[in-house]
Amino acid sequence: QEYLKTSKIILHHLPPYSPNLNPIERLWKWMKERVIYNSYYEHFEDFKKAIFGFFEVLSTAAVESELGQELRSRIRDKFRPIQAPPANS
């Protein structure tokens, strides 16, 4: 602590890591479910094509399509703020 004061280093406290609150983590999970789970790729090129194929299909999916609806439901935030209990007066 003393060193931080004299070295002009500013310490920033970050919140705990919460992948469930991060939309990109939801997308990575979905990609793994669709491309990696129960799949074996003998060559890296095949694996790479599958990953790029997932994102290509995703980028061209119509919003109304089944894939578009699944993407919206997976990425959309579905959590509520927790309110602190009232303070005892």
How do the domains of the chain map onto residue ranges? 42-77
Predicted local distance difference test score (pLDDT) of residue 57? 82
The string of pLDDT tens digits covering residues 25-44 is 888 888 899 899 989 999 99
Q: In the chain, helix, strand, coil percent, each to 5?
A: 55, 0, 45
Long-range CB pairs of 72-80 (<8 Å, 24+ gap) are 74/26, 74/27, 74/30, 75/23, 75/26, 75/27, 77/21, 77/23, 79/21
The string of pLDDT tens digits covering residues 29-83 is 888 998 999 899 999 999 999 999 988 887 776 667 777 777 777 666 665 555 6
How is residue 34 annotated by DSSP?
A: I
